[in-house]
Structure 1
């Protein structure tokens, strides 16, 4: 077996383990000894295990208690369904297929459901096995009620976990840092390296991979969508402030100072809104300031001479900061139930603001109904595995066959390699646990008091060591738990351990077969496909944006809200969402090899996000100014270079893709009007950032990994 976890690892979750053990015993002992109802005792024992261990609920004690309360009616319905479908093996297997598919796929719509899905699946699994006894449904529901009530009280009263800041509060903290940094840039045009590192580090901490499961705003509703967008915009804002603070000094600019002051005020206001406070300024405050800044920049008289290039780049970078601040302030308002109207902002960016909740769910489901979606793949893989396990266990009439399904539920991974690793460890752990439990049963015989005295300590050890020790310790210790529990509600012999070992091996084999046949590479293959599809979807957006900035694309009708880039945005936005879902799973899977010499997937996602952000904000609202032919040729050449590089990068070549956009020549900058000059620099900053993202994403220029010489 693998090494024993350290004391720190084992007892880090000791409070949770003691809490679950005590509440499980609080329902089990009265049902088994006072009421003499084995069925009630079984369900009272497994309900806290289902929602306290198999589904480790996130959040504070009050939040977890609310999750249990909301999950109890669904659990009762699944127990009733499983009891009815236990009439035949095929009916139970078909029900398992539907239940697993709906629950696993539905978890993509709301994080609250995702946190309780394993527990809900266990409720159906327990009820759908023989004997077919619909008359015991009241006892089963009573056991569920006892277990859920005990767990709910335990979450509220026993070892309450310290409250962790919510994602909204984390975003608010990031916005406070942004406001302080903007204030610092008002006094000094640069920030030191430590402040820049802190900005980027704070942005990385907002990534969903750094948030506990169940606390991530990944739901399909308006609130979660807005909060996720606020977090993404806040991350982009922090990085842009760090970039702004690292630019060379430029001459004093009153308009830039005013806009930076507005950014600081908007960030502070958004942070207050996310913490539940009142808004001092409306969401349109900074948008109006940005519009005034653009008017002042475009209306500079020619007599003042050409502004220094450093000032032009600082202004363009500041505009990206302002655009992110407008986005995060609007999203914060939507996330807290504010005004759903977003006048003046791109419809595609806040398309969900006025959409009914039912339609938002439909959009999420429809977007993942594709074999290329990892959400769809996981749902199908899990449903097929559990349904096949139920069919095999019922056809072979395995004793305690629900252990087969429990093994599939707990050991299946998103990759075949990960499943094989878990299966090997689980088999070893179950074998050792079965031997120890068999020796205990032979030694203790019918001494029920021995099993009753061992159950709670055994659960504490299993629930504290198992989750951190891996499948071997989890399966081995859980074998001891179920042995001491079943020995108290029915006569047992050492053959109980033989049955458990056979069931676990059967379930492990089924899980492994499903892992080999159904998308065995997990998200790794889908990561490459989805990123390639994203890169191929962005060229029309880049070209449409460049054409809209230079006036080569006809302006839309003034009576419509459609922007010049609307037609190409939706496919790219859809591909970005699919790629983000694949990346979220990819980072949860064990890597077969180091990715240091391969593509940088996060940089590819940043590229897609930057393309869309530029399409939202770069095209001028009042129409593009006229440009000289040389400037138009530069824009066309630079845009085509980015497009060609994106298409090459979609093939993910091993050497990577290197792209350097030629900067605007001083002659071009001086030969255009002030408004056109500023727009050209805006476009230059955007295209050069895209080129940098593509270079980083494909790993070009990265030092080759060190290889040991082979003798």
Structure 2
């Protein structure tokens, strides 16, 4: 019973025992290569590089994907690892050349992970290869042995990933999209078949499916975060699908409040959307071909033709018009969703028809090779405002400074100083402090055990050989299960046991190791505190503030264009660019805290801001495409209400933008006055009045679409502000 309880406790902290299996793979491979060279061939240099080859690629790295993909990635990165070992061997002749090389390697390796999650997961391991090679002794003649040991460790680790206690394949993000699309299809089909109401639990199911698409709730190895067109399309398709799910939930609520208010044309449009979502689900799950937007063509033309016919005018006509506008919004969003899914599946899509002034368009990346997209992301993030750029500079500075200090002071085993620097470097001052104390305390505890072990065991190498595998098993499983301090303690003991098999054990080794870690940790902490101390959190605040600013400007510009004599400018394109940086900053901020932290509910606010920006881009571009400039100027009442709603949205967002930039809250923010009647209902009433009960021009119905768009955005931004106020007022 006690043993079963311990296993349950372990499974609770390590679901699926993934960390334990990974630690077992690393320990077995590292010790196998080490023993083969140390005791089989008598080559100490190759032994230590075989050991570190496995530890760097298995223990210090995280490569997402299936076991086959991880193995292929390790083999593909082997030439780069060999180049880093060679570079470190050559530059290790002087401390200043080693430090300069450390800065360049630290920056390039860290920054290269911007658009490649697998390469980013190998950052720590790749840096360790250069670190190991650039320390004394300076022995270029041993380069062959170093590369032989390195290749052995990496190849064995790749084989272990594939065949030794392999992890189950991670989930596919595309399957999450397919599940959500299938639910949306069922709900839309039920809505199209009125008067039968939708199932009672359908809104909750749609909400759950929408939440499951949030990247912060998706396992690391399932997130589509690379620069490839496929991953970009999956993320973009998820954003469109979340908006479609929200609008479907709104229609379900309206159907309960006012049943029987769907006109036949809107029902056919909903049926077409249901068919398209069904095809999306089949395509993403691999059970059907890529979806097509053909179901929308005839249904949209039919809806536009029937939208203004006199047969629509009956007692519930306002609800009919409102439901039709939401159905049309769902259809427009569905066309974007279908295009994104076709890109993700590698199917051809139409050429980008976005006007030059509004580019980049929503699917600018379609058809471009992955290498080109990766280079574009590298270029886009090469700015001091980028979190990725900041993090690369901080790590490069810390590693170079630590290497220079170790060389000047002539510290023995100085490699541990740089490994400690990597350990404590966080993206923010908070992250650095969080890692610093567990690293120091764990190293101190491990050093105390090492002192006792070296004193008790002495030069009995066989003892160290026996305890090395279980020590490394504990070292790589303790960190994810028990915390950084435990992992650092066991890794300190394991490293001492490994080096004791290469050189005579010295009683002072524990003190030397702790001194190195102390210097490396303090160097990393100092650089982390001085260089951009706000890190991801500070950049996220600025990025979200810019996104709100650009989004509300785009809304105002779009409304002015369709209601007046102005033309659209670059606001929508600016919103797209701001959204790219906001999403990147949010992703980096989420990695600082690791698993979701219930003490930081502000994360929900960030996601809401990102969703609002996506809604501005999606519906704003749709209005621009379907409504000519100045088209609504002939209906001054509707035009005035739309401009007032856009102005009110901007006023609501301004205090939130200020709070994000300054990190201070106004004591009593002045809220813009709310209209006595919602904008969408006012505009619908104006459309009725202007028609005089006769068939009317279809243009004022674009005012209805814009009004529903503005009402939805106003609700989103108001909810963000209200949530922020509640959190700020809460104690603690």
Q: Same fold (TM over 0.5)?
A: yes
Which structure dedicates a bigger proportion of its chain to helix?
2
Residues 1:428 and 1:206: Cα distance change in structure 2 (over 3 Å) = same
Work out which of the residue numbers 256, 263, 266 in structure 2 matches 1:256: 266
After superposing the two structures, state which structure 1 stretch, 44-53 or 665-674, moved more.
Answer: 665-674
Q: CA deviation at 1:104?
A: 1.3
Q: List gaps (5 residues or longer) in structure 1.
A: 555-564
What does the per-residue CA deviation read over 1:263-300, in whole Å, with 9 as the maximum and x for residues that have no partner?
12212222232234542753x31442464145224552
Indicate the larger mover: 380-389 or 217-226.
Answer: 217-226
What is the distance in 1 between the residues matched to 2:707 and 2:511?
70
Name the structure 2 match of 1:15. 21
1:572 paired residue number: 575
Q: Which moved more, 1:473-482 or 1:102-111?
A: 102-111
Show the 5 A alignment for 1:636-651: 636-651=643-658
Shift of residue 369 of structure 1?
2.1
Deviation string, structure 1 residues 364-414 (Cα, Å, up to 9, x no partner): 123222222211111111111111111111111111111111011122111
Distance change (3 Å), C-alpha of 1:638 and 1:23: same
Using the TM superposition, name which of 357-366 and 62-71 deviates more.
Answer: 357-366
- Does structure 2 retain, via aligned residues, the 8 Å contact 1:115–1:214? no
1:339 maps to what in 2?
348
Equivalence for 1:561: none
SS of corresponding position for 1:671: helix
1:218 matched to 2:225: yes
Change (3 A) 1:358 1:13: closer
Q: 1:611: Cα distance to partner?
A: 1.2
| CA-based RMSD | 2.7
Counterpart in the other structure of 2:641: 634
Distance 1:293 1:103, change over 3 A: farther
User: Is the contact between residue 185 and residue 275 of structure 2 (CA under 8 Å) also seen in structure 1?
Assistant: yes
Task: Give the CA deviation at 1:550.
Answer: 3.1
**Equivalent in 689, 696, 706 of residue 683 of structure 1:** 706
For 1:127-142, list aligned pairs within 5 A: 127-142=133-148
Work out the CA distance in 1 between the residues paired with 2:43 and 2:217: 45
* 2:324 corresponds to: 315
Aligned residues of 1:199 and 1:238 also touching (Cα < 8 A): yes
Q: Aligned equivalents of 1:324 and 1:676: distance in 2? A: 20
SS of match in other structure, 2:171: coil
Given the alignment of the two structures, is residue 668 of structure 1 paired with residue 691 of structure 2, yes or no?
no
The answer to whether the 8 A contact 1:408-1:510 is kept is: yes
1:177 Cα offset (Å): 2.1
Taking a change above 3 Å as real, the CA distance of residues 701 and 534 of structure 1, as seen in their structure-2 partners, is closer
- SS of the residue 1:333 aligns to: helix
How far apart are the structure 2 equivalents of 1:291 and 1:532? 36
CA-CA distance at 1:69 after TM superposition: 1.4
1:560 corresponds to which residue?
none
Is 1:550 the counterpart of 2:568? The answer is no
**Do residues 272 (structure 1) and 282 (structure 2) align?**
yes
Whether contact under 8 Å (1:60, 1:162) holds in the other structure is: yes
Report the Cα distance in structure 2 between the residues aligned to 1:508 and 1:112, rounded to whole angstroms: 26
Is the CA contact 1:101–1:380 (under 8 Å) kept in the aligned structure 2?
yes
Q: Could you say which residue in structure 1 is the equivalent of 2:99?
A: 93
Map 1:100-249 onto structure 2 (within 5 A).
Answer: 100-188=106-194, 190-192=197-199, 194-247=201-254, 248=257, 249=259
Residue equivalent to 1:586: 589
Instruction: Supply the distance in 1 between the matched residues of 2:400 and 2:724 (Cα, whole angstroms).
Output: 49
Which stretch of the first structure deviates more once superposed, 207-216 or 83-92? 207-216
How far is 1:696 from its partner?
1.9
**Can you list the C-alpha shifts for 1:239-265, whole angstroms capped at 9, x where unaligned?**
222222112334242112211121122
The answer to whether the Cα contact below 8 Å between 2:51 and 2:153 also exists between their aligned partners in 1 is yes
Cα contact 1:114–1:214 (8 A) shared by 2 = no
Q: Hey, what's the Cα distance between the residues in 2 that align with 1:483 and 1:502?
A: 14
2:398 maps to 1:385? yes
5+ unaligned residues in a row in structure 2: which ranges? 1-5, 660-664, 691-695
Partner of residue 57 from structure 2, selected from 45, 51, 54: 51
Matches within 5 A, 1:405-444: 405-444=418-457
Q: Once the 2 structures are TM-superposed, how far is the Cα of residue 643 of structure 1 from its aligned partner?
A: 2.5
Provide the C-alpha distance between the structure 1 equivalents of 2:408 and 2:619, rounded to a whole number of angstroms: 59
**Distance verdict in 2 for CA 1:193–1:411, change over 3 Å:** farther
User: Shift in Å at residue 225 of structure 1?
Assistant: 1.5
CA contact (8 A) 2:185 2:274 kept: yes
Judged with a 3 Å threshold, the aligned counterparts in structure 2 of structure 1 residues 258 and 598 are, in CA distance, closer, same or farther, namely closer
User: How far 1:434 sits from its partner (Å)?
Assistant: 0.9
Alpha-carbon offset, residue 315 of structure 1: 1.5
Which one of the candidate residues 595, 610, 623 is aligned to 1:605? 610
- The 1:537/1:426 distance shift into structure 2, 3 A limit, reads same
> Aligned partners of 1:296, 1:344: CA distance in 2, in Å?
24
Query: What is residue 558 of structure 1 aligned with on the other side?
Result: none
C-alpha distance 103-306 of structure 1, shift in aligned 2 (>3 A):
farther
Partner of 2:693: none
CA distance in 2, matches of 1:294, 1:186: 13
* Residues 111 and 216 in structure 1, CA contact (< 8 A), matched pair in contact too: no
Alignment partner of 1:475 is 2:484: no
Q: CA deviation at 1:173?
A: 2.1
Q: Is the 8 A contact 2:229 2:370 kept in 1?
A: yes
CA distance in 1, matches of 2:222, 2:601: 30
Bigger drift between 293-302 and 474-483 goes to 293-302
Worse-matched range after superposition: 236-245 or 407-416: 236-245
* Residue matched to 1:692: 715
User: Structure 1 residues 367 and 290, CA, compared in 2 at 3 Å: closer, same or farther?
Assistant: farther
Partners of 1:701 and 1:315 in 2: how far apart? 34
Secondary structure of the residue that 2:698 maps to in structure 1? helix
Q: 1:330 aligns with which of 339, 344, 360?
A: 339
